[in-house]
Structure 1
Amino acid sequence: MALKLDTRKLQIIDRLVGVPLCAILTLLRRLIGDRVVPEKVELPGNVLFVKLAEQGSTVLAYPAISRALQLVGRENVFFLVFEENRFILDAMGLIPPENVITIRHKQPFELAWQALRALVRIRRKRLDAAVDLEFFSRGSALLTFLSGARQRVGFHTFFGDGPYRGDLMTHRLSYNPYLHTSQIFLLMVAALEQPVPRSGKLSVPAPQIEKWVPDFEPAAGEQDEIRRLLQRETGNDGDPPIVLLNPNASDLLPLRKWPEDRYVSLAHRLLDAFPEIYIGLTGAPDEARPIEAMVRQIGSPRCFSLAGKTTLRQLLVLYTLSELLITNDSGPAHFAAMTQIHTLTLFGPETPALFGARTPRAITIWQALACSPCVNAYNNRQSSCTNNVCMQKTTVDRVFDEASKVYMARVAKHEVLR
């Protein structure tokens, strides 16, 4: 039986294979030398972004991508990403579809073969610059180095303050854990526009961002398609208010999960308090069974499962027709920020100061315990914690109170607009 790659296995490969390869290529780089001097500004004619994983972080890169478009033009911006994550780039509508280069990675040999194919395609572009948006991944550092780009921007560990990834960048930046991730990504593009000292310190003010996320616009007929889906699932031919819960019922990110029984209790509270609403539970196809079990526990004809019943793009369309999304810190929190839905995001092992969506409609709940955040760029988003007290301390009462305020404010606004 072939070995299937999940996030944990990818991290192991990144360490066991990536570290020696980064060391070998670093030695090779020092032997042949790099002609680019980052203290001398050479504006590129084209730019490749490398951001393989985490769809939500791709949304956070919107200001950086927008700046690159201004610098080199839309047709000259490229993006390297895992195939399963390309949908968010298509939904953002910034980069031409033909400029998105994907890698399939279901199995180790497929990953290696696909990476080689992607590199062949990338090198044919004769790139001027590549920006590695992964924090301290060795795999992305290797791909950035092997892209053939003369200018390469990425994070560097100067004093062992993060995972070793060699010395493969021409523009080595020091990671700043006190800036929002969108600001950090934007600074990486700014590194191509000004001198970068070997210390990795960009002595410029933290960038001020006017527009943090793109606006998602459904294509003609997409909302009607989702309305028909909602009518089938709810049995209601009208247009009732929809509240969405995203329990993240898979085992992919257990530390970020809010207990499932609390979603059940929250649904009961919301259904009792607001008899006009319908509650939909969303999730991926592999979450369909546990989500259906939660719907049975809730036991209301006004509660239904959408897990595995929509594409990711249809999920965005669903947000445009709904009032509120309640989710843990995950991709949907960032996808929803591209629409007019209000989002209540429950943070635990990571901090909203770095990863929270920055829109007026995004509300976060975070307990700010002494041990939190325990997951960060320096530890490759891993933690020794096996008991996510940071999530367990978020009570149903707290979430219900916040959700009620948001929902009632939206109802009042709808009444004014009528």
Structure 2
Amino acid sequence: MKILVVAPSWIGDTVLSQPLLTLLKQQHPTARIEVLAPVWSAPLLARMAEVDATITSPFAHGEFSFWARRALGRRIRENSALAEFSHAYVLPNAWKSALVPFFAGIPHRIGYHGEARYGLLTERHRLDTSLHPQLAQRYAALIGPLPDTLPRPVLQSSPAQQGAVRRTLGLPEQSAPVIFCPGAEYGPAKRWPTWHFATLARRIVSPDTPVWLLGSGKDVTIGEQIVQASGGAAINLCGQTSLDQAIDLIATARAVVTNDSGLMHVAAALGRPLVALYGSSSPTYTPPLSPVAQIVRQNLPCSPCFKRECPLGHLDCLNGLKPDNVIKYLPS
């Protein structure tokens, strides 16, 4: 039995799809599970024990490319002649996300009704947001009733991988850092202010507890602002690591302080002590699925607004979260 899962585009959502993969593997222990995902998500999927292979999706965020999706679906069908896919689970709700399984000729194509995907899906679920408030629950419910406890995401990272990335980046191998993830791809309404990160860095840094900043190339400037404001208390690694390397660095962290971002979910799946900062988004929808995660938020009347930028212009939901609200949750 071969199963194709069409993954979300966002890194955090990809982590939150792992409970679905775990349940699929529990129901079909001998099944081969392959995941169609963007190239930037491939390192995550390689760290999931349930995934047997990744099929790279070449499409950018929001890209339609009907004919290219048709060609990719036909290639999958041709390459599966000896062992064809029997089921496809389409996690994104977009119409275009269901095209590849359709053109691949996979007989059972399951997903949410989404953008009126009549014909593209053979089994269309209607979403009950009150029954499944969390995104991870919504993904997992595509295969049937949920268990009492949803499996947690678990990413693999070995000591050999962790040591190798530190040597590559010239980082001390014995220290236990506190890692800050100051970026958020979605927008500034999800980013704790740089001056708060800087204040926290000054208060907790020590020879045995360095503060490292992780993020993508888009977060380099934010990282530099934190370094400058903290008087050099933090080391800016934003833009210097691949996602693979970030996974292995986070796996060694004493603790992680992060916005609601993809790296927040990575830290949760690695089981690290975690302080998750929420502003415009909601922990009801995308909480870190970890028993050692602490959610810090203000519960203002105007939040969650789910906007990329504060519509009121003040960002009180994050400006008002002081370092004192965070430091009490960090291990001493």
User: Residue 179 of structure 2 aligns to which amino acid in structure 1?
Assistant: L
Partner residue in 2 for 1:222: 161
2:85 is the counterpart of 1:127: yes
Match of 1:151 among 97, 108, 123: 108
1:342 match: 273
Unaligned runs of 5+ in 1: 1-44, 158-163, 191-203, 376-380, 409-418
Shift of 1:65: 0.7
d(CA) in 1 for partners of 2:209, 2:183: 22
The answer as to 2:25 corresponding to 1:69 is yes
Alignment correspondent of 2:197 = 263
Match of 2:118 among 167, 177, 192: 167
Matches within 5 A, 1:184-203: 184-190=138-144
Higher helix share: 1
Corresponding residue for 2:297? 366
> Which residue of structure 1 aligns with residue 178 of structure 2?
243
Shift in alpha-carbon separation, 1:356–1:229, aligned structure 2, 3 A: same
* Structure 1 residues 13-412: aligned runs within 5 Å: 45-73=1-29, 76-97=32-53, 100-106=54-60, 114-124=68-78, 125=80, 126-134=84-92, 136-156=93-113, 164-168=115-119, 169-178=121-130, 179=132, 180-190=134-144, 204=145, 206-209=146-149, 211-218=151-158, 221-228=160-167, 232-233=170-171, 239-248=174-183, 252-271=186-205, 276-300=208-232, 302-375=233-306, 385=311, 387=313, 388-403=315-330, 407-408=331-332
SS of 1:143's equivalent?
A: helix
Residue 85 of structure 1 aligns to which amino acid in structure 2? S
User: In 2, distance between residues paired with 1:116 and 1:83?
Assistant: 19
Which residue is equivalent to 1:415? none
Distance 1:156 1:108 in 2: 19
TM-score between the two structures when normalised by the length of structure 1: 0.69
CA distance in structure 2 between the aligned counterparts of 1:267 and 1:133, rounded to whole angstroms? 38
C-alpha separation between the residues in 2 aligned to 1:248 and 1:344? 14
Are the equivalent residues in 2 in contact too, given 1:367–1:394 (CA < 8 A)?
Answer: yes
* Counterpart-to-counterpart distance in 1, 2:231 and 2:71: 50
Once the two structures are TM-superposed, the CA of residue 254 in structure 1 deviates from its matched residue by 2.2
Amino acid at match of 2:87: A
Question: What's the TM-score, normalizing by structure 2?
Answer: 0.85
Q: Answer whether contact 2:256 2:275 (CA < 8 A) is retained.
A: yes
CA distance in 2: counterparts of 1:382 and 1:118, whole angstroms: 33
1:385 & 1:123 partners in 2: Cα distance?
A: 47
* Cα 1:47–1:241 shift into 2, 3 Å: closer
Q: Deviations over 1:163-216 (max 9, x none)?
A: x434243222122323222222221012xxxxxxxxxxxxx5x43235312242
SS at match of 1:280: strand
Inter-partner Cα distance in structure 2 for 1:145 and 1:60: 24
Q: Percent identity?
A: 24
CA distance in 1, matches of 2:199, 2:300: 24
Aligned length: 324
Compute the RMSD of aligned alpha carbons. Answer: 2.9
Question: What's the offset of the Cα at 1:110?
Answer: 9.8
SS at match of 1:92: coil
Q: Do the aligned partners of 2:271 and 2:290 also contact (CA within 8 Å) in 1?
A: no
Which blocks of at least 5 consecutive residues in structure 2 are unaligned?
none
Contact 2:155 2:266 (8 Å CA) reproduced? no
SS of the aligned residue for 1:78 comes to strand
* CA 1:108–1:185: 2 relative to 1, 3 Å: closer
- Cα distance between partner residues in 2 of 1:315 and 1:293: 20
Is the Cα contact below 8 Å between 1:187 and 1:207 reproduced in 2? no
